[in-house]
Structure 1
Amino acid sequence: MLSALPASAETINVDFSEGFGLTERVVQIIALVTVLSLAPSILIMITSFVRIVVVLSLLRTAMGVQQSPPNSVIISLALFLTAFIMAPVFETAYETGIQPLINEEIEMGEALSVSSKPFQEFMLTQVRDKDLQLFMDLSKTPAVEEQQDIPFQVVVPAFMISELKRAFEIGFLIFVPFIVIDMIVASVLMSMGMMMLPPIIISLPFKLIFFVLVDGWHLITGSLVQSFGT
């Protein structure tokens, strides 16, 4: 049977000599896909998202409405406010890092390093020196002359706890007027002998109308954006 095979059968040769030339590009693509998959976490860590979403969540808690606005609305509003605040940073990172990488002017490693600089500068304008020093001490990072020389992995956690502190400070100020309304309603109900009626049921409409009358969404969003110096 083997001898019956045509002598002129084509032979298939697999040449790997040129395949290794694509290795670097494949690695770059894998690295890019990895970065894109981590984009939500990166967005939370190095942008204004943390402060905004915490403040909006505390606002909902202070008003006593646990499901309104829903989480999807709060996250969407926080994302758009983050995009508005971070637009100059995104633009700078794209022009200095992403665009040259697309044009094959720089390598992936250099592009990531250059693109991270605008975000690091933004975080350094918001981070507290006390928090920055804490993580420098914990990581045993030697003192530097310029803040720009502080390692990125030190700046990020310091920035996040600074953002949480500011968010809680803003949240406290938001809670105060709503607590006053709760206390007034509770006092009135007690004076009327209606102690079995939950005060939150009566105070909720007053909280909502108070928030509407003072144009609360305008005040909250405007104050949040301005708190970043935008």
Structure 2
Amino acid sequence: MNKLGRALFLLLAAGISGNALAQSATNLGLPGLSVNFGQGVDLVDTLELTALFTVLTLAPAILILCTCFTRIIVVLSFMRQAIGTQSMPPNQLLVGFALFLSVFVMQPTGEQIYKDAVRPYMDRKITTTVALDRIENSLRGFMNKQVRKADIGLFYDVTGRKAPATINEVPIHFLIPAFIISELKTAFQIGFLLYIPFLILDMVVASVLMAMGMMMLPPVVISLPFKLLLFVLVDGWQLVTGSLLRSFN
């Protein structure tokens, strides 16, 4: 009887504590989410919700490929390789730095998206479809300024379609890959210019070592401190960051 009584007591205490937790959660006003399927649900609303979830799933790809993030992270990676420090700064630091630089560059576009799409949608003044169209138009405004006409023409040459009269008539599935190619080309051009001074320094150090007969000593070991010294003396971080930001103007 004692064991049975203890078991009943524990079950009663668990029930009381569960009710108390549920009541406290209700009193706190925690947000809830309910999804209804079946009768009384409009198919159009369901499709709009599905489209919204799809966009949220593709948000990382949109952040990387439809903004200035691609150019910035590629240039920073080239800069690290040009100096010769393979893992310094670490990847997490470069990605975080590129992310905040992207936020700085994309601030006007973000403000326009919030003003024209996010805020009216939160106020229930526009539908999900209209909000997505306005977000697309805002991103197109940024990509149109950075994309090259030759890169857009590539996709029209491949498909055999007639090129439109204005860039605003280019379909989004043509504009995004053309924009990515343009960003990669610009990033590689900046990376090439970053390599030149460090390459000259490597050649000078290698020539000096060969003249001194030290052929077995790797030139990279000697040139790395001089590269770091040169990068610090010219304030390399400021120069690279300033060049990246000005390249979007």
Give the TM-score taking structure 2 as reference length: 0.81
Equivalent residue number for residue 12 of structure 1: none
Q: Tell me the CA shift for residue 218 of structure 1.
A: 0.1
Equivalent residue number for residue 87 of structure 1: 107
What is the rounded CA distance, in whole Å, between the counterparts of 2:108 and 2:170 in structure 1? 22
Q: Tell me the CA shift for residue 55 of structure 1.
A: 0.4
Equivalent residue number for residue 101 of structure 1: 121
What is the rounded CA distance, in whole Å, between the counterparts of 2:82 and 2:230 in structure 1? 13
What is the rounded CA distance, in whole Å, between the counterparts of 1:53 and 1:118 in structure 2? 22
What is the rounded CA distance, in whole Å, between the counterparts of 2:77 and 2:53 in structure 1? 31
What is the rounded CA distance, in whole Å, between the counterparts of 2:224 and 2:239 in structure 1? 20
Match of 1:124 among 144, 154, 161: 144
**1:149 lines up with 2:169 in the alignment:** yes
Equivalent residue number for residue 219 of structure 1: 239
Q: Tell me the CA shift for residue 113 of structure 1.
A: 1.1
Match of 2:79 among 59, 62, 71: 59
- Aligned amino acid, residue 43 of structure 1: L
Equivalent residue number for residue 191 of structure 1: 211
Equivalent residue number for residue 9 of structure 1: none
What is the rounded CA distance, in whole Å, between the counterparts of 1:119 and 1:184 in structure 2? 46
Percent identical:
48
Change in 2 beyond 3 A, CA 1:192/1:134: same
Equivalent residue number for residue 74 of structure 1: 94
What is the rounded CA distance, in whole Å, between the counterparts of 2:93 and 2:159 in structure 1? 38
Cα RMSD, aligned residues only: 1.8
Match of 1:175 among 185, 195, 202: 195
Equivalent residue number for residue 62 of structure 2: 42
**1:135 lines up with 2:155 in the alignment:** yes
Q: Is the CA contact (8 Å cut-off) linking 1:45 and 1:160 kept in structure 2?
A: yes
- Aligned amino acid, residue 239 of structure 2: L
1:184-228 residue CA offsets vs partner (Å, 9 max, x unmatched) = 111111111111111100100000010000000000001100100
Instruction: Give the unaligned 5+ runs of structure 1.
Output: 1-15
Instruction: Give the unaligned 5+ runs of structure 2.
Output: 1-35
Give the TM-score taking structure 1 as reference length: 0.87
Aligned length: 214
Q: Is the CA contact (8 Å cut-off) linking 2:153 and 2:163 kept in structure 1?
A: no
What is the rounded CA distance, in whole Å, between the counterparts of 2:159 and 2:111 in structure 1? 31
- Aligned amino acid, residue 133 of structure 2: S
1:43-78 residue CA offsets vs partner (Å, 9 max, x unmatched) = 111100111000000001111110000000110011
